[in-house]
Structure formats: structure tokens, C-alpha cells
Structure 1
Amino acid sequence: MECVMNSVISAVNPSFGSRVNPASLCEKNGLVHRASSSFSRQDTTFSCTKLPGSAKVLVPKLQDPEKGVRSIRKARRWTRASAAAALEYDVVIVGAGVVGTATAHHILTTTKLSVALIDAQVPCSGATGAGQGYIWMAHRKPGTAGWALAKHGKSLWETFAEELQASGESLQEALGLRHTGSLLVASTDDQARSLQSWIQVLSEAGIPSTYWTPVEVANMEPALASGCVTGAAYFHEDFQIDAALTMNTLLKKVREYAAGGRYKELFNTPVQQLIRSSAEGRIVGVEIPAGKVFSRNAVVIASGAWTMTLMNTVSAQWGIPLVPPVKPRKGHLLVIEGPHNIPLKSGIMEVDYLANYHSPGSQERPAAKPAEESGVSVSMTATLDPSGNLLLGSSREFAGFNVDVENEVIERIVERAALFLPGVRSMKGKVRTGLRPYSSDGRPLVGPVEDVPGLILATGHEGSGLCLALATAELVTNMIQEFENPVEFSPFLPRGRLVGALA
């Protein structure tokens, strides 16, 4: 599971700005009000052998540029912006997950445009901070539009890493980058044979890979249970980055432009309304509690799983089809803190994960399982983060905006992981949950909305937000300037994919 769910956005109704579970909302006098309960994000330890009756959510920590690492709760105090009655920037970006923040970074570093970055919470408090950080090609299908975008996105991360290194920065500290490669493991003879065919397909597409027999797997990854793995495919050039460290680095870079007036961040700031010109129908800005933020060129909606909620309300108000086919897809991730006795060398994923990755209509993978009706799907993924913590995933389910930890899902993840890594049953760990922005056709939506000039969507990346972030940022920046793009982008355009307001 990658950094799999993009960051938070408020909806047009300010009640949505706090990411309240819809089940905790009630109708009163025709308006939506908060009920008393809302979810909190706190560290909770669990035992893989005895799970507690209730659990909370672990959130990665970001760094205050002056005072080091802080908790998300403390970060709220120093990231809350004091907006004037009206601000004006060339580009307003709604959503400060990795896609929105990367877009701000690309605009600021490659153009002379100014940027306001707005989020109802703070970076890494949503989807971006709840994943394993895979920058992988191993599970992608050559020849698709998604393949080209992912390959380009991976190349951009490599270039970004080279630039950081050339400037004297440590890649371990700046990105948590680890050249682990990726290992797809088979647990049946049929899966092993399919992996050999898959290696051939990816090798022809320029992705170096090697097939490992069970003996070779045991030699290379001795933590994997002998007798469980029937073969594996190792992809040499895949790597991992850490979401929290990467976001710290991106934010540090964009904040360099604040002193010159080209950058403004408005965190813990819910968007209450989109502002549209009555004369031209063009979007001209957004409303926030402290006033208005106007845009000269574009408003970019990079709000991940919350995009449909926002655009549904706007679509109803404006009477035009603006609702993208994006819905929240919940995931659980287990974090087993070191020290432990599972010294993985690779990022590992079982073959079954591929079938759960996309819907049947997706271009990315053939023979996928039905996603809408399949309930909770669980597949084993395992990797180590830069601190040596063991990250175990992953689950996928449609549960609305509920991010509560479900002990039954945790138990399933533990049992699945224990088939490959028996030692996890006796370990203690923590839980992250988040909402991936699932697109029903398997393609992200990146591009201008035809009926509203100046409005650009950048959402629906599902489990690939981190991998596709830099490529998406480049696409959006080029679209704003009307420049040519280095990859084919027409499959990602919102054209023909948006519908009217849903009941």
C-alpha cells in the first residue's frame, strides 16, 4: 500500500472541514450540524495476539522548521494561518496531501506564479501519511496510460533525489529513500508460473527483473516462511520513500518562497465555498472562514477522497455536472516498531494484492476482483521504514468516510502476514487508517473542468498518490501555462467523466 489516500479538504458546507464521520452528522432546521462524537487520532498499542476492544489511529509526525518534530496536535497551533479579509494568488490549491503539495512545489520552482495552499487540517494527517511509500512498477500493466504516467513519475522522483543529493542533502533524511527493489511472492504453483510470465512482460517493457526459486527466496529473505513461497519475482529498480520525511522536504522547499510573497499556506482552514464569476462562469477563488482567497489563473482541487463531497455540493448549486467518480476506499496499516527480528531486505507484496488493486474496468491490471461488492479485501504487504519499523498491510474496503480502526480487519491482516512472516503473531504494534481516493474506472482525474474555466481537478489516484504525485504536479503546471506535456494525458481528463449532483 502506497501513501494511499490524499489529504483533507473541507466541503462547501463547513461541517465537512473537520473530517467528521458522516454517521455523526444530524439534520437540524435543514442544515447539517456536528453530533457530539468525532474521531480522534492518537497512538494506540495493540498486541497481535490480543487486540483491544477499541483502537485509535497513528499519524506520522511532521517537522516544525524551527523546533523539530512535533505531533499533529501541536502542529495545529503553528500551522493555522491568519488570513486577511481577502488574498490573491495566481494559483489556489485545495488539499495539501502529497499531490497538492507537490503541485505547489512544481509551480513555484518552475514558473513565476504564486501559490496559496489550503487544507482543512495539516499535511500528512490524511491519506498521504497512512501508507508504505512504494515507488513501484512491479504491479503495473505496460501499454496503459497509467503505466506511462507511473513510469514518468518514478523517473521524476529519481531526478528529484539526484538534485537533493547534489545540493548536499542526505536522501535518508530528506526522503527516507531506500533502494530495496520490490518482491512479488507466490504461494501456489499457478501463481509462480504466472509470475514467470509477468517477468517476461515487464522485461520487454524495460523493467529489469529476476525470477527467484523458493531456495533463492529463502537465501535472500530468510524471514519469509519456508514452504509458503513457491516462487518470487524481484524487480531491481523499484524503491521506497517515507511520506512524512518527503512531505517535510517539499514543505521546506515551498516555504522558501513565502518571504517573497509567492507562497501562502492556510492549514486548518476549511474551504467553505468556491467562488465563480457570474459573467464568465470562470472560477475566481474560494471562501474560507477568515475571508476570501482569489486566484488569477486557476483553482486546483487536490482533495483526494473528499473531492466528490465538495464537487457534489458545488454541482447542485451551479446546476452543472461536476461530480467526479471518486469515493473513499479505507485501508488499515500495521506499524510494528523496532527492534524486531524481521530484517527484510526488499519491499514485499503477495501476488493476490495485484487482483485487489483496481476494479474490473481499470486499464491497469487484467482479471481484477470486483471492488464495489467484495467487502474487505486483505493481502500481505511488508516493508521496513527508515527507522526500521515493520509496516504490514494491507486492507481495502468501502466504508464511507469512517476511519475507525476495525479489530476484525487487523486480525485478518495479522493472520495473512503470519502465513509469510510467522513471527508477527507475538509482536506489538500500532495502526494507521486512511482513505484512498478510489476512481471507479481506475484512472485518476487530472485536468481542467470544461464547464468551469480555471477549475482543475487532480484526484482519484487511489493507492498511487505518492508514486504519481510529481508527474501529476507537472501535468497540472503545464496545463495552467498551456504547455505541452511529456506524457499522454487525455485518459485522465475529467471530460465526459463528471456527473450531476447526487441525491
Structure 2
Amino acid sequence: MVVGAGVIGAACAYYASLSGLRVTVIDRGPVAGGTTGAGEGNLLVSDKEPGPELELAILSARLWRELATGPPTRNEARTVSRLDSRIESRFEYERKGGLVVASTEAEMTALRKFAAGQKQAGVEAIEVPARGLAALEPHLAPDLAGGFHYPQDAQVQPALAAAHLLKAAADMGRLTLRLGEEVTAVLTGPNGEVRGVRTPAGDAKAPRIVNATGAWGGQLARLAGVELPVLPRRGFVLVTEPLPRVVRHKVYSSDYVADVTSGSAGLQTSAVVEGTPAGPVLIGASRERVGFDRALSLEALRRLAAQATRLFPALAEVRAIRTYAGFRPYLPDHLPAIGPDPRAPGLLHACGHEGAGIGLAPATGMLIAAMLTDREPPLPVAPFAPERFAERAATG
């Protein structure tokens, strides 16, 4: 059983179905009704330093390319050699590439150091001098110091991606989808082992439960009698009127990486600007820990608009037609919790991906499926162990 019908839960359900398991997915709302529906759809390797998260991102980048050709059936193998980076799929997969830009020579030096480590980990990072930026992005500000081009960065429409993963699982005849049912209790046995969940529609029995509830992952964990320190980190996205393709890549400033890895609870903004197939330009990204408060922050929006027009001066004359907010599921060490929780036998977690959940969804689903079927995971899973926070508290 998977609790959560966002992109992480959908990926877990899809890969578990592909492994031969029957899966029930339960969500209190619609498909992609939480963080997934408020996401930009970033599939990034460019913002991750060498380590476990980058390994997860590289695997996911390959899996997203495979899924973009059409999710394979259980008996159908797909190879990377058959993949086409120009694919237009049902969930708007676009391997547009990322461009990280620096305003000063000092920032450019930091980008070179960061990219050098990424290259050793298998990331393609191409230095672009100041004079070469216009060839990639003609509307960029002319006074930037340079940047790095990351061809592996891509984008999907996240709600469509979640829906199509669930549809693929349903097409295999292995999925039961229960929407509009809030989990109010986790059913457990005498030794704390999970036995299912309770919803207003009745009990649903299952020997294993995957917690894919995103920013609400800590709440579900507590229903099972364990603590997982997931906190919501609010973010806003500005959406412009439809435009010709003013922005070709996913473009962001070098300070975005520092914001991603920061543990600050205060408001942080760093421009991430990208065009979409439908025409509107999406402008993020802001971060702040204010609980589940959805109140509009004019200060955050002002900062985003100013930073975006600093990168693309032409956007100053463009209308912003709407904005939306979402909650990133934040964990203190910036790594997701993926795998079984020994404190509650039968409970597995797949949450805490913060702003990278859409990009990391396929690899997360593949890891969970491997654990559910006692197969060797494609990556080391120890860095993502859910109990790591309890162990640190005990020794700290």
C-alpha cells in the first residue's frame, strides 16, 4: 500500500507493479493534489554536489528518459541507446538543459570548482564564457560573467507525470486507486508491525505501507508511532502570460545552489527562470519554513520578479498572470528518507526530497520496489535510512 498519490507515490506504485506486486494507492485528495501539483517539474543534476543525492539524480535522469518513450511493460526492456533527447511525451518531457550563470568572476570561480566535482561523478558540465551566453540564451542580461551549461537537466509537467505513472500501473492490472480518503490511523499488531490503515471509508489491510506523503510525511510517521522530522518549506512560483520562447533553457543564478543546501528557516529567493511548451514563463524559487501557511508573501514575489528581470531584462515588460504556492518536504540533512523503518516493521518511507522530489521520483520508486521484493537496490541505500535521525539524536 502506498499512501500519497503525488509523483513519488506514483513512481513507487509503478515500479512495484512492474515488479509484479499488487498495489493500493490512497490519498486524501486527487492525484498530484499536494506538492507535486505545485511543482515546476525540475529534473536537475546541475544543483547537486557529488554524493548520494547526485547518484540518485543521475539514475533518475536516465529513468525519466526511458519513461518519456512510454512506460515499459513488465516484459519490455528499454535501452538507453534507443532514447531520443528530443522526445515530446504525454507528460511534456523536455530535455532542455540547464544554464547556471554567474554575475561576477568570484561567482564564476566557485561554479568552476563545483562543476569539477560534478564531472568526476558523471555529470556533463560545459563552461560557457560571457561572450558565449547569448548563443544559448539571446535575451540574457549582457553583463554576466559566464556560466555552465548542463545538457542533462530536463523538465516534465509533474501532475501529468504522476497521472501517467499511475495509469501505467493500472494498465498492468495491478493498481487499486482510492482518492478522497484521508488516513486517520495506521493499524498495527502487538509488536508494532503495520497491518494497514484506517480511513473514513473503512479499514484497508496491507502488510507493508509506503509513506509517500511528502511534506506531511512526519504526520503519517507519527500515526505509525515513529518520528520523522519532515517539515514543510514553502515556495512560490510566478507565472507569466504566454510568450514566444523567450527562455530556452532552465536558467538560474549561482546562489540557487547555496539556497538549496541551506537549513535557514528565513525567506530565501534565487531566480530560476524557464519557458514552457505552452508559452508561459515560470519564475521561482523561494524557500521559507513557516509551517503550512499558504498566505501570499508579497516580499517573496517582489524578490523573484526583481531577480528574474535582472537575468532577463525583457521580462520587465511582461505581465505575471498568477502565482501559486507549495510545500517542499524538508529534512535536516537535505537527503530523502527512502526505505524500511525498523522501528515500525512493514513501514517504508519515501519522502523528504525537498525541492527535488519530481526529479528523484523514478529512482526512489525503483529503490522502494527493490526493497519490497528483496532485490538488490541499484544504488546504496544506507545514506537514505529513515532511522538515521533517531540514531543521531541518541548519540548527540
Normalising by structure 1, what TM-score? 0.72
Which residue, out of 338, 343, 368, partners 1:446? 338
Matched, 1:233 2:176: no
SS in 2 for 1:155: helix
Say whether 1:110 aligns with 2:19. yes
Tell me the C-alpha RMSD between the 2 structures.
2.2
The aligned counterpart of 2:231 is 327
Q: Indicate conservation of the 8 Å contact 2:7/2:36, yes or no.
A: yes
Verify the 8 A CA contact 1:153 1:468 in the aligned structure 2. Answer: yes
Q: 1:277 Cα shift?
A: 1.1
**C-alpha distance 173-163 of structure 1, shift in aligned 2 (>3 A):** closer
Instruction: Return the match for 1:357 from 235, 255, 260.
Output: 260
Counterpart selection for 1:158 from 65, 87, 90: 65
Between Structure 1 and Structure 2, how many residues are aligned? Answer: 382
- Separation in structure 1 between the aligned mates of residue 103 and residue 165 of structure 2, nearest angstrom: 39
How far apart are 1:220 and its partner, in Å? Answer: 2.3
Distance 2:320 2:28 in 1: 32
> Given the alignment of the two structures, is residue 436 of structure 1 paired with residue 333 of structure 2, yes or no?
no
Aligned residue among 281, 284, 305 for 2:215: 305
The amino acid across from 1:98 in the alignment is: V
Match of residue 183 from structure 2: 271
- Write the deviation string for residues 202-233 of structure 1: whole angstroms up to 9, x where unpaired: 23333222211222112321211112x11110
Instruction: Say whether residues 1:471 and 2:363 are aligned partners.
Output: yes
Equivalent residues of 2:243, 2:281 under 8 A apart: no
What are the equivalent positions in structure 2 for 1:160-309 lying under 5 Å apart? 160-164=67-71, 171-227=87-143, 229-257=144-172, 260=173, 262-278=174-190, 280-295=191-206, 297-309=207-219
Tell whether the 8 Å contact from 2:99 to 2:251 is kept in structure 1 after alignment: yes
Taking the aligned partners of 1:95 and 1:294, their CA distance within structure 2 comes to 16
Separation in structure 2 between the aligned mates of residue 125 and residue 337 of structure 1, nearest angstrom? 24
Distance 2:34 2:373 in 1: 29
Q: Could you say which structure has the larger radius of gyration?
A: 1
The residue number in structure 2 matching 1:491 is 383
Q: Secondary structure at the match of 1:174?
A: coil
Superposed CA offset, 1:286-308 (max 9, x none): 0011111000x311111111111
Could you say what secondary structure the match of 2:326 adopts? strand
Letter in 1 for 2:199: I
1:242–1:386 Cα contact (<8 Å) kept: no
Question: What is the aligned partner in structure 2 of residue 46 from structure 1?
Answer: none
Letter in 2 for 1:307: G
Calculate percent identity across the aligned residue pairs. Answer: 30
Give the match's secondary structure for 2:195.
strand
1: CA distance, partners of 2:351 / 2:44: 19
| Structure 1 unmatched ranges of 5 or more | 1-91, 316-321, 360-369
Q: After the TM superposition, which of the residue ranges 487-496 and 238-247 deviates more from structure 2?
A: 238-247
Shift of 1:168: 12
Q: CA 1:156/1:286 → structure 2, altered by over 3 Å: closer, same or farther?
A: same
Closer/same/farther in 2, CA of residues 314 and 202 from structure 1, 3 Å limit? closer
Are the equivalent residues in 1 in contact too, given 2:68–2:88 (CA < 8 A)?
no
Write out the 4+ residue segments of structure 1 that deviate beyond 4 Å after TM superposition: 163-171
Query: What does the per-residue CA deviation read over 1:413-465, in whole Å, with 9 as the maximum and x for residues that have no partner?
Result: 11111111123233232112100000111111111111221111111000110
* CA–CA distance in structure 1, aligned partners of residues 388 and 103 of structure 2: 41
